[in-house]
Chains A and B, each alone.
Chain A
């Protein structure tokens, strides 16, 4: 059974999505999520990116959302937020 939604107690005048954090000055010691949106050859781009990031001292974790045509599932977003400091979402085509 999926968990029940919560009803918003606020005036709903701000977006429910969370605000982006400021960009870090350095990637040193941070964990970077690479999110593959499941477009063809996006993985090629992300593979190269991963190499560069690791050379700069960042830990890299790879994720993939089921389809590029829909937003990433809430569980995947939570997993990334929980495990990583920074996320790079790869576009392709």
Chain B
């Protein structure tokens, strides 16, 4: 058996145990690594670990660390100084018996976990695990302008995706960098965890946002959600990411004031990361496969968190996921618009009010082809819940008010060519297909408003919303 000690000169405990190390060197097979001074401890043959390679690879978090090593590798270790532990590990019952030092003393932080050094160390020692092509910029070249010039940007500045930032981002997931996440349209390119992490860095994410980005990518890039079609359409739609579960608060999302607006890093960067991945890895760009007539500002990023509570989440209402599960629902939607009703205090009045507005979605003479997410503000929701209406009751009441008379919406009716084809022999047609009107709950505590997010073409020819549990 051998012993390995990792120390640093700038540590009072390491200085305390220096004579113990001298004794161990005489009596055992000891190797000493020093992080900051190859001459310390004096009188010993010390191995220089000022590049911290040994400390990094052996996950040294505290100095001194004493490790017992056998033919099969590390057997056990102790950190700091404890005469009892050191005697047990070394098997020397009389170790330090002649020394006048305290019987125990906590250690100091290892330089290999120093916050100022750890990013650089991670690159030096883990960088080779990343497979993306490295692009070298000239010393004087402006990296922000470079990223615009090569077309990576959505129009706003990006965080430069350096190895150290990408490696730090990958700390946010337990998944390995080379794992396949999804095949990204329109070019159908394999997105590895690493490529998603690169997008997340550029978008401004923190590592704790990465699992949400990965889940959103998985939810959006499949035949069901049809990200390709969503990109290619002339309609002004993009992926809307609705986040549910307690983890939304942990990463700093806020379903309250200005929930759908600016200012929340988690929401905006998660939504942006998905769009940047589609742009850069998938190759989906405006004027290329993206043929939107107008687009909408939400195509930069549209992501928000729902309130938790008895009303339940959109995710749990359309999947078997429990409320306590962190989940992402992606919906092909356009920009939100406000429905104002500040006077309705009875649920019937508010339901009728909302339904009249929902009928206008896209065109008042079009039905069934488009889904919607209605984001109920807390004050609107309270009108319903105070009357004992739950999610399914609200949906039913709205749907019952959205049976459109066929004669009113047929092509040509009202002097408007747009509408439903003639000759279908119907009396009414619902505005939304079954399940096509989805309810979410977000917004600040004051304001009798709700928000309508109108959808793109639904069903097999368009996009179906997808809900996925967040994979950490």
A: which residues have CB within 8 A of B? 2-13, 16, 74-75, 77-79, 82
Among B133, B140, B143, B164, point to the contact of A75 (Cβ < 8 A): B140
Interface stretch (choices B12-20, B155-163, B309-317, B427-435)? B155-163
Contact A8 B134 (CB under 8 A): yes
A9 contact set on B, CB distance < 8 A: 132, 152, 161, 195, 198-199, 202, 276-277, 280-281
Q: Is B179 an interface residue (CB 8 A)?
A: no
10 contacts between A and B (CB under 8 A): A2-B139, A5-B163, A6-B137, A8-B135, A9-B195, A11-B189, A78-B138, A78-B141, A79-B140, A82-B140
Q: Is B166 an interface residue (CB 8 A)?
A: yes
A13 to B152, CA, bound (A): 14
Known: A9-B199, A75-B140. A4 touches B135 (CB 8 A): no
A77 to B123, CA, bound (A): 27
B136 contact set on A, CB distance < 8 A: 5, 74
Q: Which residue, B133, B143, B202, has most C-beta atoms of chain A within 10 A?
A: B133
Contact A6 B143 (CB under 8 A): yes
B: which residues have CB within 8 A of A? 123, 130, 132-141, 143, 146-147, 152, 160-164, 166, 187, 189, 194-195, 198-199, 202, 276-277, 280-283
Contact A16 B133 (CB under 8 A): yes
Contact B161 A7 (CB under 8 A): yes
- Judged by DSSP, the binding face of B is mixed
B139 contact set on A, CB distance < 8 A: 2-3, 75, 78
A4 to B159, CA, bound (A): 13
How many A-B Cβ pairs are below 8 Å?
Answer: 80
CB distance from B247 to the nearest CB of A (A): 26
B123 contact set on A, CB distance < 8 A: 4
Q: Which residue, A5, A7, A77, A82, has most C-beta atoms of chain B within 10 A?
A: A7
A8 to B280, CA, bound (A): 9
Contact A4 B133 (CB under 8 A): no
A25 to B313, CA, bound (A): 64
A12 contact set on B, CB distance < 8 A: 132-133
CB distance from A65 to the nearest CB of B (A): 14
A49 to B140, CA, bound (A): 29
Contact B140 A78 (CB under 8 A): yes
Contact B162 A4 (CB under 8 A): yes
A24 to B123, CA, bound (A): 43
Contact A3 B161 (CB under 8 A): no
A75 contact set on B, CB distance < 8 A: 138-140
Among B198, B277, B282, B283, point to the contact of A7 (Cβ < 8 A): B198
Known: A75-B138, A78-B141. A6 touches B283 (CB 8 A): no
List 9 tightest A-B contacts by C-beta distance, closest first. A78-B138, A5-B134, A8-B133, A4-B162, A7-B132, A11-B189, A9-B280, A9-B198, A75-B138
Contact B132 A8 (CB under 8 A): yes
Q: Which residue, A5, A9, A16, has most C-beta atoms of chain B within 10 A?
A: A9
A82 to B145, CA, bound (A): 13
CB distance from A91 to the nearest CB of B (A): 24
A13 to B187, CA, bound (A): 10
Contact B160 A6 (CB under 8 A): yes
A16 contact set on B, CB distance < 8 A: 133, 135
Closest to A1 in B: B120
Among B138, B141, B147, B187, point to the contact of A11 (Cβ < 8 A): B187
A6 to B144, CA, bound (A): 11
Contact B281 A10 (CB under 8 A): yes
Contact B137 A74 (CB under 8 A): yes
Contact A7 B138 (CB under 8 A): no
A79 contact set on B, CB distance < 8 A: 138, 140
Contact A6 B134 (CB under 8 A): yes
A5 contact set on B, CB distance < 8 A: 134-137, 162-163
Closest to B202 in A: A9
Closest to A74 in B: B138
A2 contact set on B, CB distance < 8 A: 139
B199 contact set on A, CB distance < 8 A: 9
Contact A4 B138 (CB under 8 A): no
Closest to B130 in A: A7
Since A3-B143, A9-B161, A9-B199 are in contact, a sample of 14 more A-B pairs with Cβ atoms closer than 8 Å, ordered by chain A residue number, is A5-B137, A6-B137, A7-B134, A8-B135, A9-B152, A9-B198, A9-B280, A10-B280, A10-B281, A11-B187, A16-B133, A74-B138, A78-B139, A82-B140
Closest to A11 in B: B189
CB distance from B34 to the nearest CB of A (A): 24
A82 contact set on B, CB distance < 8 A: 140
A78 to B202, CA, bound (A): 23
A7 to B162, CA, bound (A): 6
A10 to B282, CA, bound (A): 8
Contact A4 B276 (CB under 8 A): no
Closest to A6 in B: B135
Contact A77 B138 (CB under 8 A): yes
Contact B163 A4 (CB under 8 A): yes
